[in-house]
Amino acid sequence: MMMYFCSLCFFCGVWVFSSNRKHLLATLLSLEFIVLILYTILYSYLVLFNYEIYFSMVFLTFSVCEGALGLSILVSMIRSYGSDFFNIYNMLQC
């Protein structure tokens, strides 16, 4: 039952990530939601089969680094352009 709920949440996160293309903050939040659901799935899998939880700590470390990198990109884009709205950026146009 929990795996159905986690897979439903994962696909909802992917749907929000692919449909929301206007604001960088909403995109980063949906990516963090997907990573959180993947962490939940990984943790439940490791506990179910009595494996060591060490790999979940490595995954959590990489997800924190990914979140910090996304936040730093968001801050630099807001400082240089004044907003996180994608339509005002000239760098996305060819």
**26 in any annotated domain:** yes
Say what angle helices 54-81 and 24-48 make with each other, to 10 degrees: 180
**64 in any annotated domain:** yes
3-state DSSP assignment of residue 85:
strand
**pLDDT of 89:** 58
**Residues facing residue 23 across a β-bridge:** 85
Domain that holds residue 41: 2-88
**pLDDT of 65:** 93
**27 in any annotated domain:** yes
**pLDDT of 84:** 75
Report the domain count for the chain.
1
**pLDDT of 33:** 93
**93 in any annotated domain:** no
**pLDDT of 63:** 92
**pLDDT of 87:** 63
**37 in any annotated domain:** yes
CATH number of the domain enclosing 76: 1.10.287.3510
Q: pTM for the complete prediction?
A: 0.81
Q: What b-and-e string marks burial along 72-85, b requiring 16 or more CB atoms within 10 Å of the CB?
A: eebeebeeeeeebe
Distance CA 3, CA 75 (A): 35
Q: What is the CA radius of gyration of the chain?
A: 16
10 Å CB burial of residue 70 (0-12, 13-18, 19+) is middle
- Residues of the chain short of pLDDT 50, as ranges, are 94
